[in-house]
């Protein structure tokens, strides 16, 4: 009980000293305030970047390899006339990959075209994608209502569709679209399912080739090839006529499908716009991609009219780059905490010099050296703790401001707040101990004579 009373007495003396010199204490705490705020903001940016990477990983699926065609206007097609004809990326390629490569779990071919959708007088431009049920498995895309394509739908090329959530809202409103029809291009399709709502960032669509799931009408890939368009059904004479009409000057384009205007400019002879291959384990990604690349080169007569991309490796590299950047920023922010701690030590040393007589009086009336140490140590801890609290609020506000005005995702975690405040308190203890120890070691007699 006596110890507790002495503890609170010393703490009260420290608090009175801080309040009596509030302006100086506030200036001393500024280094801690800005240091804690900077650390929280930097960690929030790092957490936001990590979350974006995880979200993109979900969008591109797990352990996926993406195969995209390269199509050109003239020069690349010169291979046709030199005896090196490539059939382009086709369903036969997909079947061969699934049959031959043992590490492949799923294959998802995809064909996309631009078209106008119509329903009850409403007409909107949309994307129509020919896919298989594996597409939804690969991208972890569920249905909010309805059913998936069946094997019979795929075999027959049935006029059925699964629509994105935005398509449902635009054309069907609050009514249940299941069993109703929507016209895409020149074909009427019966809606059998609705895709769950999924937000995709522009960065993911541009860098990783991820589709905007909500604004697409999905139909079986055989339905797309039978009822809409099959680009592989192009004769040599048509290619020659196109080459003669357009003259020289090739432009190579990579990636997904092209719109109608692009197809007037480029000779896209690929049957598929993209193939996503999912492997069993992450460690199999690179060797499987190499096997697929060599297989497609043989099937395409050594014409490299495709590219093989491993999104997970790209994302991991991006995450490593961001982690290094965040570590550098965090280190810079941490330096301000050290500077704040040095400021606390300097001010406390000056305070010890100013209050030498007070220290002598305390020691003369019976205070122990530990009491003096605790008093001055408490002052430095109070200053750093107050600065830590203000820094936490400033850091949270700064993180929200960054997200609002720069569109950079920031996530403030409880761990970052605890770590920042804990470091601030530790700085107060570490840098406050030397001045407190120096105060306790003063000679009481010399201190009483100090003017």
* Domain layout of the chain by residue ranges: 2-57+317-449, 64-280
The pLDDT-based confidence of 265 (bands split at 50, 70, 90) is very low
Alpha-carbon Rg for the chain in angstroms: 34
Higher pLDDT, 17 or 241: 17
pLDDT in tens, 268-293: 778 888 888 888 887 788 888 899 99
Tokens linked to 206? 């541009």
pLDDT for 159: 92
How many other β-carbons are positioned within 10 Å of the β-carbon of residue 16? Answer: 11
The predicted pLDDT at position 256 comes to 45
CA-wise closest residue to 357 among 257, 251, 450, 220: 450
For 253, the enclosing helix (H) or strand (E) is strand 253-254
Q: What digits encode the pLDDT tens for the residues 164-181?
A: 888 898 898 888 899 999
SS3 for 184? strand
Report whether pLDDT(428) > 50.
yes
| pLDDT at site 148 | 92
Q: Which of 46-50, 99-103, 128-132, 393-397 has the lowest mean pLDDT?
A: 46-50
| pLDDT for 370 | 76
pLDDT bin (cut points 50, 70, 90) of residue 339 is: confident
Q: Could you tell me the sign of the dihedral formed by the alpha carbons of 138, 142, 148, 149, in that order?
A: negative
> Using one digit for the tens of pLDDT, what is the confidence trace for 61-96?
668 888 888 865 444 444 444 556 778 888 888 889
pLDDT in tens, 400-423: 888 888 878 888 888 888 888 888
Q: For position 5, what pLDDT does the model report? A: 62
What is the rounded (10 degree) CA torsion for 376, 377, 380, 382?
A: -100
Q: Which tokens sit at 128?
A: 């129509």
Can you tell me the distance from the alpha carbon of 152 to that of 257, in angstroms, rounded to the nearest whole number? Answer: 26
pTM of the predicted model as reported, rounded to 2 decimal places? 0.58
Please identify which residue in the block is written with the tokens 């690969």.
138
Q: Residue 79 and residue 68: Cα distance in Å, rounded?
A: 19
- Which is nearest to 217 in space by CA: 141, 134, 116? 116
Burial class of 110 by CB neighbour count within 10 A (0 to 12, 13 to 18, 19+): buried
**Residue 435 half-sphere exposure, CB side, CA atoms within 13 Å?**
28
Nearest alpha carbon to residue 221 among 296, 302, 128: 128
Structure tokens at 390: 């203000």
């Amino acid at each position: 009980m006596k110890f507790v009373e002495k503890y609170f007495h010393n703490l009260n003396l420290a608090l009175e000293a801080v309040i009596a010199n509030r302006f100086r204490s506030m200036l001393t705490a500024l280094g801690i305030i800005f240091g804690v705020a900077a650390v929280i903001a930097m960690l929030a940016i790092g957490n936001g970047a990590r979350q974006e990477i995880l979200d993109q990983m979900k969008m591109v699926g797990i352990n996926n390899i993406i195969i995209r065609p390269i199509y050109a206007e003239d020069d690349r097609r010169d291979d046709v006339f030199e005896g090196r004809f490539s059939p382009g990326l086709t369903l036969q390629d997909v079947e061969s990959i699934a049959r031959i490569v043992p590490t492949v779990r799923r294959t998802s071919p995809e064909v996309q075209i631009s078209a106008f959708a119509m329903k009850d007088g409403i007409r909107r431009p949309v994307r129509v994608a020919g896919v298989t049920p594996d597409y939804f498995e690969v991208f972890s895309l569920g249905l909010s209502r309805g059913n998936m394509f069946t094997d019979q739908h795929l075999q027959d090329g049935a006029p059925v569709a699964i629509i994105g959530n935005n398509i449902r809202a635009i054309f069907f409103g609050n009514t249940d679209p299941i069993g109703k029809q929507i016209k895409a291009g020149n074909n009427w399709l019966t809606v059998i399912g609705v895709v769950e709502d999924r937000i995709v960032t522009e960065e993911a669509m541009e860098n990783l080739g991820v589709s905007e799931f909500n604004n697409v009408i999905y139909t079986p890939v055989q339905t797309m090839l039978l009822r809409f368009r099959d680009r592989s059904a192009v004769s040599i004479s048509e290619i020659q006529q196109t080459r003669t009409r357009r003259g020289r000057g090739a432009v190579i384009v990579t990636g997904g499908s092209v719109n109608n205007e692009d197809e007037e400019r480029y000779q896209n002879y690929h049957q598929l716009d993209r193939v996503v291959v999912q492997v069993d384990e992450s460690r199999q990604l690179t060797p499987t991609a190499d096997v697929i690349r060599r297989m497609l080169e043989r099937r395409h007569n050594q014409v490299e009219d495709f590219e093989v991309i491993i999104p997970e490796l790209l994302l991991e590299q991006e995450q490593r780059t961001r982690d290094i950047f965040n570590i550098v920023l965090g280190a810079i922010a941490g330096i301000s905490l050290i500077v704040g701690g040095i400021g606390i030590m300097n001010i406390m040393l000056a305070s010890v010099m100013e209050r030498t007589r007070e220290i002598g009086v305390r020691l003369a009336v019976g205070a122990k050296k530990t009491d003096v140490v605790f008093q001055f140590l408490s002052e430095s801890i109070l200053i750093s703790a107050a600065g830590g609290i203000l820094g936490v609020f400033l850091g949270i506000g700064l993180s929200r401001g960054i997200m609002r005005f720069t569109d950079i995702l920031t996530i403030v975690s409880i761990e970052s707040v605890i770590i920042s405040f804990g470091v601030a308190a530790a700085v107060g203890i570490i840098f406050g101990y030397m001045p407190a120890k120096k105060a306790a070691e003063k000679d009481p007699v010399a201190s009483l004579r100090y003017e």
